[in-house]
Chain A
Amino acid sequence: MVRALSTLVGAVFVFVLGIALWGTVSTAITEPAPPTAEHEFHLSPREAGLSSAGLFGKFDLRQVQRGFQVYQEVCSACHSLKYVSFRDLKEIGYNDGQIKTIATEWKIEQPSVNPETGEATTRKNLPSDRFPSPFANDVAARAANNNALPPDLSLMTKARHDGQDYVYSLLTGYRPQPAALLKHFPDAKTPAGLHYNPYFPNLNLAMPPPLTTEGQVQYQDGTKASVDQMSKDVSAFLTWTAEPKLEARHQAGFASVIFLVIFVFLAWGAYKNVWRDQAH
């Protein structure tokens, strides 16, 4: 009885799947999905080769500081960094005085309330403040950027696959649209106001190339500011903003793994010891 009933139910499911399978196969034969420009021309990110990658990864603080300089002078004009505070800069090697100066001299001020009139105003940033957003809200950000919203960068390297490589590749990936693409996909011509970049998922990005010329940023440590170098540096900085506890995590990880390997050996020994007189 159970067998007959279950066979019937099973057969119904298999039958319905058979119908669905028939539909899928015939559609695949009669109307195969056309190739798309995204599918053919999208590239996987190139490796940025940052020191924070890998099991033993540590931040190269000078590089992270250079990346911060790039963010400060270039990216921060449009992109917010709203989960990071000025005080956090201490972790990348700035001292309290420097942080205070950076906060006070930051171009965008912190939204505030006038203590006398209660009207909205701005005040100078304090070390305890988060980095202020360049736009008052998303609507203002879109309005100023051709209706494209510049994303917050705090978590960018964790919010994309292979994030640190992605940031590096995207910043160095702008190029003219390949002739082959236009030949095969004439409809995929980059629309006006967008910029071709094979590392961007749909190939056309609203952000104009932000790093264009060598020496766009004057590095304080004398490193030559090539576009490639600046892109790597900003990727290093954004790796830190996304995962500031990376080094602590790696250290705790090594301690834990060593501790647990020893425990497994001890537990194995205890197990063998306890069972020494029992067949099993």
Chain B
Amino acid sequence: MAIDTAVPPGEDPAPFQEEVSDPRRRDFINIAAVAWIGVGAGVVVLPLVNQMNPSADVLAQSTTEIDISKIEPGQAIKTTFRKQPLFVRNLTPKEISEADAVAVSSLRDPQTLEERTKTGKKNWLITLGVCTHLGCVPLGAGEGENKGPFGGYFCPCHGSAYDTAGRIRQGPAPRNLEVPQYTFNSDTVVTVG
């Protein structure tokens, strides 16, 4: 919209030349007004976009405390963290040695079990239960579920197989199961998030 062409064709702006030598200078105010309200409209868009971000009640639930005292070696539990499944697994010494036996350089997403657990708590593997391929929940945490060819987790959607350290070994998933931020409050309580 050419708002700065305020003088319509056919109208002679000449009588006004005396007041302002350059008519363009007067049109500055038109541009300023349009620009100013344009900036205002831009600012109003921010809350309209921001309202779709997680609300305060959703963010407030972003830490979860988990009691791990009842998980025996070889068992795992499925709990939730930020409305996503979370696997907490107490690895047996055999599972730990299986994980350590793998040459890290041969992995798609090279990581050692140490890097994926806390110092001195190598048996506690805490990962999100979200397959890094397209977000299905892998099997293997529940009692009697298919743990896949590498004894860890197996995603039934597209056949990704994870080992006992939750690392991707076979199938389409690009990365290891994600390890969320967590801290041990005590030997039996973990805070995730």
Contact = CB atoms under 8 A, between A and B. Distances in A.
Q: Is any CB of A less than 8 Å from a CB of B in the complex?
A: yes
B57 A266 contact: no
Contact of A85 (B30, B36, B57): B57
Given A273-B6, A277-B7, A266 B29 contact: yes
Interface string A244-280: 0000000000000001101100110110011011000
Given A87-B60, A128-B61, A270-B29, A277 B13 contact: yes
Contacts of B103: none
Contacts of B30: 270, 273-274
A208 B168 CA distance: 67
B33 A269 contact: yes
Given A273-B6, A277-B7, A277-B13, A85 B33 contact: no
B109 interface: no
A128 B57 contact: yes
A127 interface: yes
A125 B30 CA distance: 59
Contacts of B37: 263, 267
B4 to A, nearest CB: 10
A273 B26 contact: yes
B11 A277 contact: yes
A273 B29 contact: yes
A259 B27 CA distance: 21
Interface string B1-17: 00100110001010110
Contacts of A259: 40
B23 to A, nearest CB: 10
Nearest to A275: B6
Interface residues of A, number: 16
B101 interface: no
A277 B57 contact: no
A273 B34 CA distance: 13
Contacts of A85: 57, 60
A226 B98 CA distance: 71
A249 to B, nearest CB: 12
Interface string A82-99: 000101000000000000
Interface residues of B, number: 21
A263 B36 contact: yes
A35 to B, nearest CB: 50
Interface in B58-96: 60-61
Q: Specify which of B16, B34, B36 lies most central, judged by the most chain A CB atoms within 10 Å of its CB.
A: B36
Contacts of B16: 276-277
Contacts of A269: 29, 32-33
B92 to A, nearest CB: 25
Contacts of B40: 259-260, 263
Interface in A41-97: 85, 87
Nearest to A266: B33
Given A273-B6, A273-B27, A277-B16, A267 B33 contact: yes
Contacts of B61: 128
Given A259-B40, A262-B36, A269-B29, A274 B6 contact: yes
Contacts of A87: 56, 60
Given A259-B40, A277-B7, A270 B33 contact: yes
B54 to A, nearest CB: 13
Interface string A127-155: 11000000000000000000000000000
B60 A127 contact: yes
A271 to B, nearest CB: 9
Given A273-B6, A276-B16, A277-B16, A266 B32 contact: yes
Interface of B: 3, 6-7, 11, 13, 15-16, 26-27, 29-30, 32-34, 36-37, 40, 56-57, 60-61
Interface of A: 85, 87, 127-128, 259-260, 262-263, 266-267, 269-270, 273-274, 276-277
22 contacts: A85-B57, A127-B60, A128-B60, A259-B40, A260-B40, A262-B36, A263-B33, A263-B37, A263-B40, A266-B29, A266-B33, A266-B36, A267-B33, A269-B32, A270-B29, A270-B32, A274-B3, A274-B30, A277-B7, A277-B11, A277-B15, A277-B16
